Amino acid sequence: MGSVFGLLWLLSGCLQGALGQGVYAPPTVRIVHSGQACNVEEERYSERVSTIREGDTLELQCLVTGHPHPQIRWTKTAGGASDRQGDSSLRNETLRIESISRHQGGRYYCKAENGLGSPAIRSIRVDVYYLDDPVITVHQSVGEAKEQFYFERTVFLRCVANSNPPVHYTWRRGKEVLSQGSDSGVEIYEPFFTQGETKILKLKNLRPQDYADYTCISSVRNVCSIEDKTAHFSLSNRTAPPSIKLLLDDPLVVNPGETVTLVCVASGGDPPPTLTWVRPGGEELPKRCVVNRGTLTVPMVTVDDGGAYSCVASNNVGNPAKKSTTILVRGLRKGRFWITPDPYHNDDNIQIGREVKISCQVEATPPEELQFGWLKNGRPLRSSERMVITHTDTDVSPGTTNLDIIDLKFTDFGTYTCVASLRNRGTPEISIDVNISSTTVPPELTVPRGRSHLIAQEGDTVDLQCLVSGKPKPIILWSRVEDSGPAVAATALMPDGSAQMESYDGVLRINNVTREMGGTYRCQTSQYNGFNVKPREALIQLVVQFPPVVEPEFTEIRQALGRAFSLTCRLLRAHPARLLRYEWKLGSRLLTVGQFSEQKDDTTYHIRALNREGYGEYTCDITNEAGAGRCTFLVTGKAYAPEFYYDTYGALWQNRPRVYGFKLQWTQMEPGAVDRILAYRLGIRQVGQSRWWEQEIPMEGNIQKGELLTYNLTELIRPESYLVRLTPITRYGEGDATERIITYSAPVNPHLREFRCGFEDEALCLFSQDKTDEFDWTRHSAATRDTKYTPNTGPSSDHTGSKQGFYMYIETSRPRLEGDKARLLSPTFNINSKTSSSSSAAVTNSPTYCFAFFYHMYGKHIGALNVFLRQKGQTVTDTSVWSLSGNQGNSWSQAMVNIHPTTAFQMVMEGVRGSGIEGDIAIDNVTIEEGECKEPPPKNLGESLTHIWQLWLTLSLALIGRQR
């Protein structure tokens, strides 16, 4: 944009204010298709259905009206898999899903809201069409006839293909198409329970000719241009289901780090089966494993690799064959011990002359290889009358060994070691030492003095401590108790999210403690790695103090000078909740301080009359021992943002070939909230450029809420787009700015004198397809038209008789339905209004234009051709100006009609599909000229005869006059 252009548009703008005109309006919404839809249909109950092929790009546009400009949100109903973009909603006018999948079909909703009235909601159902490759499976049955010595062999060939819409199947044997009744040895049927998704070919009592190549052709009848797909199967007397065998031991026991090889071979089946390895539950195979047909190799096996593995063989004949094996990786885990005092005495202590039992438990894989040994002071210990060693059955419970010392003597004191190992020595053994002496005593648990009630502040690190005595010292288990009512206790989660935490030193450390972590904590001794006695436990109360929580945390308040208002800060919660103080400040200047009473939970600061020094940031701090909560109020005189008006009709116009103008309209949000708006700063720059042009637009008087303001932007260079920024200005200074992009679109012609279009150009003379109709007009010439087009309908040339000439027509073949409409929209034209601009009460004489075109309506299923005059005032109106229906013969005819637009207008050409496929309608050579049609055509046959009679009468009278 050069300096000359900048000067021109700055000087040529004019401001208009529609005083008192409220243009606020609730939203309206409609959905149009702008992507790769195969078809958009209107069904019963006004249900809109968009069909699209899987893999194509879905593009739905939400067209809205309403002021302020509505916010738009797309959502999808449940029922389809989670679709696009991670979130279930999308805030954009256009919903775009690239490479759409079948799971993304469903109902999509567009919701528009602008705070006025109820939100506007419209929906459209998206049907995703697809066709998977068909699969043929074969099942054989052999039946023995009673009292006879022969077998009847029946074969079923089942074809399955997933599709939408439902698939149609065709069977072939060799090149011969099989149909029901064409061969007495063949039956074709679709089971009811499969809803048309499978087709079964039944071969009864196999004959030699039945051993052949079979083809299943699946088709969705080329909807959405989805081509047919095929599957093949060769049936022979060798056809048989698969069978397999595993060349390995089951289970397979290995040591960690070894390489495991599982071998599966096919022992039968024709055609040769495919072998695969799987794990139960859909679990993935180890990532480092190597699969080579039926051989699965797992190098450097670990404990996590253990489990079941299955070999599956399939050749689509009968059911797949499956055999499984288990890999057991040797290992020892979780070694524990416990000491049980004499159960016949109430005393938990170990005493001379009584019995004591030492138990050890280890988890082993495989459990049957587990073996235990006992040592005393490092020397092997054998079972005797006083020292009885027993082992539990590993098939019933984890491996456990017990050492019972009967009639304990002083000489029995010492260190006892339980040694667990596997018989083949493939893994390291586990040793557990247990010391039995006069100092071996059960545990006691206490809380240090003054530590049973702890007070901490949010964010601190807190140590909860329980002192445990006894030998050996057991592990301390920490848990949390949540009081949920009188005499009711429920288990709450620990700070790490678990139900229980272990501690070896009796200390539970909580870092960065929060208010949610306050409550009662329980510490108790575990029954393993210590005495098997009733757990000792203690409780610790943790109180977490936190600063006051207040509202509002931040509020912006816009006020004009001289006004009175109040600021209120409200206390929500705090701990401790009393002895609270408040402090009001403006910036760093202290305004007032005070203390909360027992009954009050808020504090208010009053401003009697706002002056310039009163603008700024007000803060209210409410404090307790743990800190402060702050309310912040930003008091400003900034004006709210302008609200651009997007529903302007005929906003864009063109008065010279390379430039265009735009009527910019807006309202002001809450104009009475602050001081009077003195002016607007208007900024504009070309999209993609960095230089801004700015101008101030002065404002006279007060702006009313809902008042529509207008400014004309001129000298915009076509076809460039511009970013426009509007900023209100008051005595306070600049307010909030609003931006919008102005995009050049199809020209709105100024004074129209003549328009002609023969559709020879691919741009269609700027004609466009209506996005709200069911299908589109098609540009064609007889020379390029598909030779397979429907015969007995449509033109064989353009209106001049040329086969190379182009025209527009509607294709009424499938999937078109009766009543479907296609609309073609002309460019938008401004009328040549003869208006006196000097008069305040302008008088307009609407001009007359002649609209003419050629039409071709040939075929026994012709529907209708309608022409509408669409005028774009404050509302859009369509007026029917011409209509014709039914077969008009295999020739081109011309229609001419006078139109009288009073504002910017378009012509709408609507083709309506008739009852069948022989209903193609074509148009050509569309013209619009200023002035009345020179020879207006008659509307019907009666008028035509009258016209001929009047012409004959006129000529006859003229001849008689001459003879006289």
What whole-number distance in Å separates Cα of residue 867 and Cα of residue 912?
Answer: 11
- How far does CA 950 lie from the centroid of its chain? 70
Q: Do domains 25-130 and 135-234 have the same CATH topology?
A: yes
Q: 708 has which bridge partners?
A: 18
The answer, yes or no, to whether residue 959 has pLDDT greater than 60, is no
The answer, yes or no, to whether residue 151 has pLDDT greater than 70, is no
Name the nearest CA neighbour of 340 among 207, 196, 531, 480: 531
What whole-number distance in Å separates Cα of residue 447 and Cα of residue 478?
Answer: 13
pLDDT of residue 315: 96
Domain 135-234 has CATH 2.40.50.100: no
Q: Which residue has the higher pLDDT, 805 or 285?
A: 285
Q: Hunting for tokens 């587990």 — which residue is that?
A: 370
* DSSP state at residue 775: B
331-438 CATH: 2.60.40.10
Q: Positive or negative, the Cα torsion across 358, 362, 368, 373?
A: negative
Q: Where is average pLDDT lowest: 150-154, 418-422, 597-601, 618-622?
A: 150-154
Could you read off the pLDDT of 102-148 as tens digits, one per residue?
Answer: 999 999 999 999 999 999 999 999 999 999 999 999 998 865 444 44
Q: Which residue has the higher pLDDT, 633 or 194?
A: 633
Amino acid identity for residue 808 in this structure: M
pLDDT of residue 294: 93
CB 277 within 8 A of CB 244: no
Q: Hey, is 891 helix, strand or coil? A: coil
Q: Which residue has the higher pLDDT, 581 or 652?
A: 581
pLDDT of residue 786: 59
Q: What is the mean pLDDT of residues 340-357?
A: 88
What length is written for the chain?
Answer: 964
253-284 CB burial, b ≥16 within 10 A, e <16: bbeeeeebebebebeebebebbbbbbeeeeee
CB 474 within 8 A of CB 524: no
User: How many Cα atoms occupy the beta-carbon half-sphere of 554 within 13 Å?
Assistant: 2
Which helix (H) or strand (E) covers residue 654, if one does? strand 652-656
Name the nearest CA neighbour of 418 among 471, 377, 367, 372: 372
* DSSP state at residue 6: H
Quickly list DSSP for 167-182. -EEEEEETTEEE-TTS
What whole-number distance in Å separates Cα of residue 737 and Cα of residue 742?
Answer: 16
Q: 554 has which bridge partners?
A: 632
What is the CATH T-level fold of the domain 642-743, as seen in this structure?
Immunoglobulin-like (2.60.40)
pLDDT of residue 49: 86
Name the nearest CA neighbour of 240 among 293, 319, 294, 150: 319
What whole-number distance in Å separates Cα of residue 763 and Cα of residue 747?
Answer: 13
pLDDT of residue 862: 93
Q: Which residue has the higher pLDDT, 18 or 94?
A: 94
In this prediction, residue 597 has a pLDDT band, given cuts at 50, 70 and 90, of confident
Q: What is the mean pLDDT of residues 196-203?
A: 83
- Residue 212, C-beta contacts closer than 8 angstroms, at least 6 positions apart: 173, 174, 234, 235
Which phi-psi region, left, alpha or beta, contains residue 806 (left: φ > 0; alpha: ψ -120 to 50)?
beta
List the Cα angle 753/755/756 in 5-degree steps: 150
pLDDT of residue 942: 42
Which helix (H) or strand (E) covers residue 373, if one does? strand 370-376
High-pLDDT (> 70) share of the chain, %? 86
Q: What is the mean pLDDT of residues 173-201?
A: 81
Q: Hunting for tokens 């103008």 — which residue is that?
A: 661
In this prediction, residue 189 has a pLDDT band, given cuts at 50, 70 and 90, of confident
pLDDT of residue 162: 93
The answer, yes or no, to whether residue 832 has pLDDT greater than 50, is yes
Longest dimension (CA), the chain: 165
pLDDT of residue 53: 95
CB 529 within 8 A of CB 470: no
- Say which CATH class 549-636 falls into: mainly beta
What whole-number distance in Å separates Cα of residue 442 and Cα of residue 530?
Answer: 8
Amino acid identity for residue 455 in this structure: I
Name the nearest CA neighbour of 924 among 880, 870, 878, 865: 865
pLDDT of residue 2: 44
**Tokens at residue 474, please?**
């057991």
* DSSP state at residue 80: B
Q: What is the mean pLDDT of residues 557-586?
A: 94
CB 464 within 8 A of CB 517: no
What whole-number distance in Å separates Cα of residue 869 and Cα of residue 882?
Answer: 9
pLDDT of residue 488: 40
Could you read off the pLDDT of 380-401 as tens digits, one per residue?
Answer: 999 999 999 999 887 777 899 9
In this prediction, residue 782 has a pLDDT band, given cuts at 50, 70 and 90, of confident
In this prediction, residue 299 has a pLDDT band, given cuts at 50, 70 and 90, of very high
The answer, yes or no, to whether residue 575 has pLDDT greater than 50, is yes
Whole-model pTM: value is 0.68
What is the CATH T-level fold of the domain 442-483+494-545, as seen in this structure?
Immunoglobulin-like (2.60.40)
In this prediction, residue 483 has a pLDDT band, given cuts at 50, 70 and 90, of low
Neighbours of 752 (CB within 10 A): 18
Amino acid identity for residue 253 in this structure: V
Q: Hunting for tokens 């020739």 — which residue is that?
A: 891
The answer, yes or no, to whether residue 486 has pLDDT greater than 70, is no
Which phi-psi region, left, alpha or beta, contains residue 587 (left: φ > 0; alpha: ψ -120 to 50)?
left
CB 499 within 8 A of CB 493: yes
What whole-number distance in Å separates Cα of residue 799 and Cα of residue 406?
Answer: 119
- Say which CATH class 754-830+847-930 falls into: mainly beta
- For all residues of the chain together, what is the average pLDDT? 86
Name the nearest CA neighbour of 433 among 418, 411, 414: 418
Distances (CA, A) of 750 to 4, 163, 714, 833, 927: 23, 53, 14, 10, 17
Could you read off the pLDDT of 893-932 as tens digits, one per residue?
Answer: 999 999 999 888 899 999 999 988 888 999 999 999 888 8
Q: What is the mean pLDDT of residues 7-19?
A: 39
Q: Helix/strand/coil (H, E, C) string of 410-425?
A: HHHCEEEEEEEEECCC
**Tokens at residue 906, please?**
């378009």
What is the CATH T-level fold of the domain 243-329, as seen in this structure?
Immunoglobulin-like (2.60.40)
The answer, yes or no, to whether residue 449 has pLDDT greater than 90, is yes
State how beta strands 778-781 and 806-810 pair.
antiparallel
CB 912 within 8 A of CB 741: no
459-473 CB burial, b ≥16 within 10 A, e <16: eeebebbbebebbbe
pLDDT of residue 661: 87
State how beta strands 321-329 and 252-254 pair.
parallel
pLDDT of residue 667: 96
CB 453 within 8 A of CB 543: yes
pLDDT of residue 373: 95
pLDDT of residue 311: 96
* Domain 25-130, CATH number (from 3.60.40.10, 2.60.40.10, 1.10.3720.10, 3.40.50.2000): 2.60.40.10
CB 361 within 8 A of CB 386: no
Amino acid identity for residue 204 in this structure: K
In this prediction, residue 342 has a pLDDT band, given cuts at 50, 70 and 90, of confident
Question: Structural domain boundaries of the chain?
Answer: 25-130, 135-234, 243-329, 331-438, 442-483+494-545, 549-636, 642-743, 754-830+847-930
High-pLDDT (> 90) share of the chain, %? 61
**Tokens at residue 397, please?**
């419970």
Most confident among 28-37, 699-708, 766-775, 944-953 (mean pLDDT): 699-708
- φ, ψ for residue 952, nearest 5 deg: -65, -40
**Tokens at residue 213, please?**
């190549």
Q: Which residue has the higher pLDDT, 482 or 725?
A: 725
Q: What is the mean pLDDT of residues 741-754?
A: 69
pLDDT of residue 17: 38
Q: Which residue has the higher pLDDT, 673 or 398?
A: 673
Q: What is the mean pLDDT of residues 864-889?
A: 90
CB 66 within 8 A of CB 28: yes
The answer, yes or no, to whether residue 484 has pLDDT greater than 70, is no
Which phi-psi region, left, alpha or beta, contains residue 941 (left: φ > 0; alpha: ψ -120 to 50)?
alpha
Q: Which residue has the higher pLDDT, 180 or 10?
A: 180
